[in-house]
Structures are given as C-alpha cells and as structure tokens.
C-alpha cells in the first residue's frame, strides 16, 4: 500500500492525524498477537488494535537471541484478517525496519525496547514518517525526548514479558509525579527543568500549561490480569497494551484457546470499567488461570529490557 498523504502537508497537520488515531484507541486494550488466528480472537474479544509480532516478549525473554521486526508476510496476514488498526514493532533506531513497516501500511509503529536495539545512541526521526509511532518511557524526560522526535503516543515501558506489573506502576507513577511537579514550577524554573530533563523547553512549557503529556499516555510492560488493567487506568493510563498476558501460560507455552479468549474479554471489560470494583471482580472471576510470570525483583538488572534506549 502506498502512502496517499500529500508530502506537502505541514508537520503540524501530520502530527494531528497521528495523535488523532491515538485518541481513537483511548480506554481500550491493544493486544500482542503472533498469528492471524490470535488476531481474530483479539478482535472478537474487543481489542481496539493488535500488535503483530513473531514472538511475544515472554518468549523473547525465555528464548534469547536477537529480536527483530516481524516477517512482513506475517504482518500482512494479520492485516488481512483485522478490521481494527494493526501495529508492528521496529527496533530502536532501525529506521529501515520502520520504512518497511510503513510501506506495508501498518497503522502504528512501536519503536520498542522489547526488540534488540539497532542503535545505541539515536532513536528514529519519527517526523519523517506518515505512520504514527508509539515509544516507551519511564519518566517525563524520556517521554518528551520521544515526543520531540515525533512520537504520537507514549506508553510506560514497565518490564515486558514478565507478567509482573510492578514497573509499569513505577513508570506511570513517575511520569504522573513529574507532570505534577512541572505544573507547579515557575515559568523561569522551566528552563532549568528542561535542561535537567534533557528536553526542549517548549514541550515542557506545554506540559506545564496543560497538565498532561502532549500526546496520549498509555501503559505497557507486565500487565497480565483484569485487576492490573484497572490499576494502570486508575493511575492515569489512558489505555493499555497487553503483551504476553493473554496468549501465554509462561515463556514457552501458549494458554489453551478458551483461557486466552476469557482473559482477553475480561481485560477489555476491566479496562473500560476500571473504577467499578464489582465489575473488575466479575471480570477476574471469569478468568481461569493467568500467566505464571517472572517476578521483576528476581531479575538481575542486566536482564531488564527497560534500560534500552533512553
């Protein structure tokens, strides 16, 4: 599929279209899928988008090796069976992978720390793409550096592939606390804050004015249950990504189909009704089994994916 956006449209208009699609995903659940069959299950369960990839983070973590962009054939198969937006991951800094994904016509590109980084210094210059990008962040500095590079959506990094929500919580709390702090600064203090956070002062001024990030603020990285989804939404996440938590039992084994369907439906429902504990309880009761998971506290820091790409 060929891009039809005229290349002469302004950066501003292009950014509005990119953020516009992110707006459409608010309140919903974006699910990792590795096959067309899983994509069908995700859509039927009420996912607002799917992330097409070859191995979910739990598998990447278990199997090791270099994790790269998925095979275009797989992405196209998933695009063919999905009526909802399809996302795909490119390695950090790997703009050639991102160009491939754009040429396939995917609706969103995740420049993701879950894949093995291709550049230790630079992220992709996302302004040069018509396809919107989502990037991970652990604090406001990382978030705004990605926005400066053209990201249209930010998600917490958390610790992907663990089924342990603890770092998604840590990162969301950090970002929300940072935003709170920025709104309380005097105008002349924002210059120093911009220096400390290593971000353009204009973006920091915007956060101070509006009390929120300039782009939608989602959560990812270890969300595995309906209550996890409710927790992240309560902490300020405007939508969530669920990676390994739906289709995996652990890093090697797929969950039985029926279990995956139950979990998918339950997480979608809990995400919308996050502030109604009775509904979240009913959603939790609907699920049999959950991803076994890996406690983040038991990991060595060098095993963390979240340190990739600051």
Partner 1 sequence: MAMRVGVLAVQGAYQAHAARLKLLGAEPVLVRSAAELNDIRGIILPGGESTTMLRFLARDQLLQALTDFAAEHPVLGTCAGLILLAREVEPQQQSLGLLNVSVQRNAYGRQLDSAIIKGSTALSGGPLEMVFIRAPAITHVGDGVTVLAERDNQPVLVQQGHLLGCAFHPELSQDTRVHQLFLEGMGRGI
Among 41, 199, 273, 293, binds partner 1 (CB under 8 A): 273
Half-sphere exposure of 69 (CA within 13 A, CB side): 26
81, 90, 96, 108: which one binds partner 1 (CB under 8 A): 108
Site string for partner 1, 151-170 (x = CB under 8 A): --------------------
**C-beta closer to partner 1: residue 27 or 72:** 27
We find the least distance from the C-beta atom of residue 64 to partner 1, in angstroms, to be: 33
**Each residue of 197-208: b (16+ CB within 10 Å) or e?**
bebeeebbbbbb
- Residue choice 272, 282, 284, 286 for contact with partner 1 (CB under 8 A): 272
24 binds partner 1 (CB under 8 A): yes
Look up tokens 């990285």; give the residue: 221
For residue 143, state whether it binds partner 1 (rule: CB under 8 A).
Answer: no
Supply φ then ψ for residue 208, to 5 degrees. -60, -40
How many alpha carbons fall within 13 Å on the CB side of residue 249?
Answer: 10
Among 11, 13, 125, 191, binds partner 1 (CB under 8 A): 13
Indicate the SS3 state at residue 195: helix
Question: Residue 248 gets which letter from DSSP?
Answer: B
What does DSSP say about strands 133-137 and 153-156: parallel, antiparallel, or unpaired?
A: parallel
- Is the CB of residue 140 less than 8 Å from the CB of residue 182? yes
Distances (CA, A) of 228 to 148, 187, 233, 299: 30, 37, 9, 20
- Which tokens is 79 given? 């695009």
Can you tell me whether residue 186 is helix, strand or coil?
coil
Identify which range of 55-63, 125-133, 190-198, 201-209 contacts partner 1 by CB under 8 A.
Answer: 125-133
Report how many helices (DSSP H) and strands (DSSP E) the chain contains, helices first: 13, 8
List the one residue from 107, 142, 159, 164 that touches partner 1 (CB under 8 A). Answer: 107
* Catalytic-residue membership of 89: yes
Q: Between residues 132 and 214, which has the closer beta carbon with respect to partner 1?
A: 132
50 vs 118, beta carbon nearer partner 1: 50
3-state secondary structure of 36: helix
Q: According to CB under 8 A, which residues from 199 to 258 bind partner 1?
A: 238
In the complex, the smallest distance separating the C-beta of residue 196 from partner 1, rounded to whole angstroms, is 30
- Choose, by CB under 8 A, the member of 31, 33, 39, 45 that binds partner 1: 45
- Which residues are tagged catalytic? 89
**Residues that bind partner 1 in the complex, under the rule CB under 8 A:** 1-5, 9, 13, 16-17, 20-21, 23-28, 43, 45-49, 83-85, 102, 105, 107-108, 130-132, 238, 265, 268-269, 272-273
């Amino acid at each position: 599929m060929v891009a039809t956006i005229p290349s002469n449209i302004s950066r501003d208009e292009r950014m509005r279209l990119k953020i516009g699609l992110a707006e459409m995903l608010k309140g919903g659940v974006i699910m990792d899928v590795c096959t067309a069959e899983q994509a069908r299950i995700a859509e039927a369960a009420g996912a607002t988008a799917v992330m097409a990839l070859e191995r979910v983070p739990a598998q990447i973590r278990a199997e090791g090796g270099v994790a790269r962009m998925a095979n275009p054939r797989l992405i196209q198969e998933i695009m063919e069976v999905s009526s909802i937006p399809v996302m795909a991951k490119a390695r950090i800094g790997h703009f050639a992978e991102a160009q491939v994904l754009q040429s396939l016509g995917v609706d969103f590109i995740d420049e993701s720390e879950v894949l093995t980084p291709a550049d230790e210094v630079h992220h992709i210059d996302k302004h040069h793409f018509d396809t919107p990008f989502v990037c991970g962040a652990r604090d406001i500095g990382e978030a705004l550096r990605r926005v400066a590079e053209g990201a249209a959506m930010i998600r917490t990094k958390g610790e992907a592939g663990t089924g342990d929500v603890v770092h998604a919580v840590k990162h969301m709390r950090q970002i929300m606390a940072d935003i709170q702090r920025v709104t309380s600064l005097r105008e002349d203090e924002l210059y120093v804050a911009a220096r400390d956070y290593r971000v353009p002062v204009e973006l920091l001024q915007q956060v101070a004015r509006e009390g929120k990030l300039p782009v939608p603020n989602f959560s990812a990285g270890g969300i595995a249950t309906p209550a996890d989804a409710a927790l992240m939404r309560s902490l300020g996440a405007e939508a969530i990504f669920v990676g390994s938590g739906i289709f995996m039992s652990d890093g090697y084994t797929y969950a039985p189909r029926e279990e995956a369907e139950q979990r998918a439906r339950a997480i979608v429902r809990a995400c919308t009704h996050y502030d109604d504990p009775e509904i979240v309880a009913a959603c939790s009761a609907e699920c049999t089994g959950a991803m076994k998971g890996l406690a983040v506290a038991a990991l060595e820091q060098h095993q963390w994916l979240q340190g990739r790409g600051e």
